[in-house]
Amino acid sequence: MAILKILEFPDPRLRTLAEPVTEVDDSIRTLIDDMFETMYDAPGIGLAATQVNVHKQIVVMDISEDSSDPLVFINPQITVLADDTLPYDEGCLSVPGFYETVDRPASIRVEALDRNGEAFTLEPDGLLAVCIQHELDHLNGKLFVDYISPVKRERIRKKLEKSQRQRA
């Protein structure tokens, strides 16, 4: 297992469109294991392959308190079921230290493949519904800061660039 380097905003590689996984094989399962190790180490509740500079449609997630509910979504597709929205104070491992409220559809269906390549469907609500939408955005090159005001986004960009320079 390995802890992978997480790309940080405004790294342009976070804007890459992920490709569908054509075969869920052992190399994909190794990547998934490394993504879980990276996410739990951070710690975080969700990580998309895009964030570790692998441009395949893979997301790992665990919103439990005790790391007891690992979820894998390969080639996820979302359908919005109703037009009500849920505001949530979102963060992101690629935007460390910053949280902003984002409104997203509250009621969705997710269809995806699991780590064995088997199709499954979920109708999550609450944090799980928010988190899967946030992670699917990563696969499409989108970040939660894209939904906030340009002034706030620029402020976050400047602060992160400064801390990245200091670490370099």
Catalytic entry in 65, 100, 135, 161: 135
**How many Å from the N-terminal Cα to the C-terminal Cα in the chain?**
26
Catalytic site residue 135?
A: yes
Compute the least distance from the CB of residue 23 to ligand QAP, in Å. Answer: 27
Q: Does 71 bind Co ion (CB under 5 A)?
A: no
The binding site for ligand QAP (CB under 6 A) comprises 42, 44-46, 88, 90-93, 96-97, 130-131, 134
Torsion (CA) 148, 52, 138, 99 in degrees, nearest 10: -30
Residue 44 interacts, among ligand QAP, Co ion, none and using kind-specific CB cut-offs from 5 to 8 Å, with ligand QAP
Interaction mask 97-126, Co ion, x per CB under 5 A: ------------------------------
Residues 65-68: contacts with CB under 8 Å, at least 24 apart: 67/40
Query: Which range in 70-78, 87-95, 101-109, 112-120 contacts Co ion by CB under 5 A?
Result: 87-95
Complex with Co ion: residue 105 or 117, whichever CB lies closer: 105
Q: Which residue has the tokens 């790294």?
A: 11
The encoded tokens of residue 49 equal 């392959």
Q: Does 14 bind Co ion (CB under 5 A)?
A: no
Compute the least distance from the CB of residue 94 to Co ion, in Å. Answer: 5
Answer for which of 6, 74, 92, 102 binds Co ion (CB under 5 A) is 92
What phi, psi does 60 have (nearest 5°)?
-120, 150
CA-to-CA dists, residue 18 to 70, 78, 124, angstroms: 21, 15, 23
Per the document, the length of the chain is 168
Nearest to residue 39, comparing CAs of 93, 91, 99, 96?
93
Compute the least distance from the CB of residue 60 to Co ion, in Å. Answer: 12
> What residues are labeled active site?
135
Give the interface with Co ion as residue ranges (CB under 5 A). Answer: 92
